[in-house]
Amino acid sequence: MVQHALNRQVGSSRGLWNRAGYALLYVILIAAAVLQLLPLIWLLLFSLKNNQEVFNLPPFALPPQPHWDNYAKVWSNGNIGTYFMNSVWITIVSLVLTVLLASFVTFAVTRMRWKGSSFVLGLFMVGMMIPVHSTLIPLFSMFQKLNLTDNPLSVILSYVAFNLPTTIMILLGFYYALPGEVEEAAVMDGCSVNRMFFRIVLPMTSSVMATTAIINMIYNWNEFIFVNTFISSDQYKTLTVGVQNFIGQYTTDWGAIGATLMISILPILLVFLILSDRIVEGIAAGSVKG
């Protein structure tokens, strides 16, 4: 009887500590979420101010008369519509090429037996250690010789080259974990390698491909250095570079800059919120090697 009461007391005490631990964890997570949202809230309020209000009002103060016309101004006068569409199609083309090529490489390295596969994989992984800034001058010189400067193709090729190693690394674990029996059965039924890859392997890897697609999309959409280095014409610039149009020699339209940044953030933020579960699912699936 005494032992039963003692066990009950210990269990109750342990449950109390567990609830306190969970409460503390939730407080920390909520605080972290608020800290993450503060820059977005600040940028939204920033985009609704004129130059005088930007410097005279507190950072998180709502202006007396919100300037929603900043958004209309950047869309009509700032050529933001063209920059937005350039960001969309350059991001999509680069994403598709990167994921498809990375899938080819990963399938060849993990599911096919040939000499030098480990060496080739090592070459791709070395690409992750090369700083982007160290390649700007060689790339610019090469694209200049190929007449690809001020051409979207130079940006697309750069995105694909620098995103391939990371994409392959994410795909590797998932491909190693794929059951070989399915492919063996397909080969015995007379299925060719190409047909097996497109009809069997790609559908089986759809979750991890979605993860790599989202990660590539975020990088391509927010990238600034390559576009700013290789592109000079307004007709090919993307949103991240187009914001410079509102920085003049003597004056800077800070409200328009804030509106442009908000327009550039919203699409990728919405996509991330909708598909964030796929990122976790794909990374978790690709982290286990069977």
290 residues of the chain, pLDDT tens digit each = 545 554 555 555 666 667 777 888 888 989 998 888 888 888 888 888 888 888 888 888 888 888 888 888 888 777 788 888 999 999 999 999 999 999 999 988 888 777 878 888 888 888 888 888 888 999 999 999 999 999 999 999 999 999 999 999 988 888 888 777 777 777 777 777 788 888 888 888 888 888 888 889 888 998 889 998 999 888 898 888 877 777 665 567 888 888 888 888 888 888 777 776 666 665 555 444 44
For helices 80-111 and 206-222, angle between their N-to-C axes, nearest 10 degrees: 140
Helix, coil or strand: residue 87: helix
Which segments of the chain does DSSP mark as H helices, in order?
2-47, 51-56, 69-76, 80-111, 117-126, 136-145, 152-177, 180-188, 193-196, 202-204, 206-222, 225-230, 239-242, 254-286
- Bridge partners (DSSP) of residue 252 are 247
Among the listed residues 164, 169, 127, 128, the one whose alpha carbon sits nearest the alpha carbon of residue 287:
169
Helix, coil or strand: residue 179: coil
Residue 286 C-alpha from the chain's centroid: 17
The distance between the two most distant Cα atoms of the chain, rounded to a whole number of Å, is 89
Dist CA 276 CA 218 (whole Å): 12
In this structure, the number of other CB atoms found within 10 A of the CB of residue 239 comes to: 24
Dist CA 67 CA 34 (whole Å): 25
Dist CA 289 CA 175 (whole Å): 8
- Bridge partners (DSSP) of residue 247 are 252
